[in-house]
Structure 1
Amino acid sequence: MKKIEQCMEQILEKLTNKVDKFYLAGGTALSWFYFHHRESYDLDFFTKEFSQEEIRKVISYLKDVFNVEIELSKEVNKEDKVKVVIYNLTFDSGNSVKIDFVEDPCDLIKPPKKVDGIYILSKEDIYLRKILAVCGSRNEEDDSGRTLFRGGRQEAKDYYDLFCLSTIFSPISKFVSKFEKSTLAERMIIWHKSYNRTDMKMGLLEIISDKQIDAGIMIKHFDEQIAALVMLLADGDE
């Protein structure tokens, strides 16, 4: 086990039963507790009850327990945006762990499950939030009246997570047609037309995994799934 993974485990151990208003989400939850498909060193804690006071309590506790400085890296606290606070916790070993606290704007599909004193988001809920992360979650219109989705994150690790969710858990076409069908499907179709294949290929080279990652297979899979999604939508309109 790498030193940074040990640091992350130490953080989670110290937070056992102390962050019950939060649930672990994102790539680390997906990799550590479900697929073990890639290395991930961020701790993403989502919550329906975003509270600066609660977050400060958690950070103060970690600072005291580990006797380290914790740096506030980023804060988003605007009414029209999802609230986010990001901290970097740097250990004496030099390893730095990024801890995100994120306001969760989505309804839960399934209740989070508690593992070793930490609530973990379900695969279904991680899936939905990954889709929104890459496609964007803010609806706008351009001058011609076309719908635009702002805020999408163009990172290869998110695309790889989506690929694994689609091939291991549930195909994108079936998942999207089952949950929030019309809007989510439109977002996926628009994303598929515009995502940068070259950037994805380059970004995949930076992912650490014991599995073989083939960009060509991923691109083909996304092509097939979006085509299947379009067909499902067409059948549903008849």
Structure 2
Amino acid sequence: MKTKMNKELRLAQLKALEVFGKKAKTFALCGGTALELYYLKHRFSADLDFFSPRFNNKEIAEIVTAFDKAFGKKFKLESEFILPDRAKVKFYTIKVKGSQRPLKIDFAEDVLFKNPEISRIRGVRVYSAKNIYLMKIMAMAGNRIQTDDIGRQTMHGRQAARDVFDVYVLSKKIMPLHLYLKEIPGNLQRGMIHWYRTFSRQETKLSLLDLDIYDKKFNAHEMIMYLENEIKEFMKEVVG
């Protein structure tokens, strides 16, 4: 389903962020919506992802209670679980009048950064663009080693077009990918090289059609060529 800009959903997001800004102590906005609203203005992102290295249940309860009061109805706890990387997650939703999609809110434990770079932007605690950049690369490259039938070990990510597009725009606006790759751990460098060698160009192009990309001149082929060239440049400079 195409993630299309929806005025009612956007207003609900902004209302929730206003409440969050007043209540959050350790949690901060992360992910695609943080990139869209505060850094890149590149595509519509429908969900709110709040991360904290501490995952304080009391803080979550206080924030959700404030959401309930502001919206005049209760947010529904859809699920709580532990991801393969052992991060704890609580997932809430609320129906939004005029929107087919509910507002989805995740509270997640940050197992990547012990001390993330956080700024207060227009009253909201937000992860830095470079911290989110690393999270997006991890999503593409993977953070778990898999062994194939002949014993080769490789990293595998989630293969989501939104991550690829976000990394593309981050490379254009924040720091070129070939330079940023030099700053990250070797396992993620190898994971990105593996991604470059194995990802489906055609599937990525098709999946991009599900995104509401604001730049109407955006060209998927140009994006793929750009990212390939960035990774080739990194390999030339570092791998040799």
Structure 1 length-normalised TM: 0.89
Q: How does 1:151-162 map to 2 (within 5 A)?
A: 152-162=157-167
- 8 A contact 2:25–2:59 mirrored in 1: no
How many residue pairs match? The answer is 233
Deviation at 1:108, TM superposition (A): 6.3
Aligned partner of 1:87 among 86, 92, 95: 92
Deviation at 1:7, TM superposition (A): 1.0
Aligned partner of 1:208 among 207, 212, 223: 212
Rounded Cα–Cα distance in structure 1 between residues aligned with 2:34 and 2:85: 27
Q: Greater CA deviation, 89-98 or 182-191?
A: 89-98
1:147 aligns to 2:153 (yes or no): yes
- 8 A contact 1:44–1:100 mirrored in 2: yes
Rounded Cα–Cα distance in structure 2 between residues aligned with 1:84 and 1:229: 34
Aligned partner of 1:179 among 184, 192, 214: 184
Deviation at 1:117, TM superposition (A): 2.7
1:136 aligns to 2:142 (yes or no): yes
- 8 A contact 1:109–1:125 mirrored in 2: no
Deviation at 1:80, TM superposition (A): 4.9
Rounded Cα–Cα distance in structure 2 between residues aligned with 1:130 and 1:9: 23
Query: What is the one-letter code of the residue matched to 2:201?
Result: R
1:17 aligns to 2:22 (yes or no): yes
1:105 aligns to 2:111 (yes or no): yes
Tell me the C-alpha RMSD between the 2 structures. 2.1
Rounded Cα–Cα distance in structure 2 between residues aligned with 1:48 and 1:108: 6
Structure 2 length-normalised TM: 0.88
1:44 aligns to 2:49 (yes or no): yes
Query: CA, structure 1 residues 200+116, in 2 after alignment: closer, same or farther (shift >3 Å)?
Result: same
Rounded Cα–Cα distance in structure 1 between residues aligned with 2:26 and 2:115: 17
Residues 174-224 of structure 1: per-residue CA shift (max 9 Å, x gap): 1011222x2221010111122222221112112113302211001111211
Three-state SS of the structure 2 residue aligned to 1:98 is strand
Query: CA, structure 1 residues 27+149, in 2 after alignment: closer, same or farther (shift >3 Å)?
Result: same
2:128 paired residue number: 122
Of structures 1 and 2, the one with the larger relative CO (CA 8 A, separation 6+) is 2
Query: CA, structure 1 residues 178+79, in 2 after alignment: closer, same or farther (shift >3 Å)?
Result: closer
Unaligned runs of 5+ in 2: 1-5
Aligned-residue sequence identity (percent) comes to 30
Query: What is the one-letter code of the residue matched to 2:210?
Result: E
Residues 26-68 of structure 1: per-residue CA shift (max 9 Å, x gap): 1111110011011112111111101333323322321233122
Query: What is the one-letter code of the residue matched to 1:199?
Result: E
- 8 A contact 1:38–1:210 mirrored in 2: yes
Q: Greater CA deviation, 11-20 or 33-42?
A: 11-20
Q: Greater CA deviation, 76-85 or 223-232?
A: 76-85
Unaligned runs of 5+ in 1: none
Rounded Cα–Cα distance in structure 1 between residues aligned with 2:71 and 2:94: 9
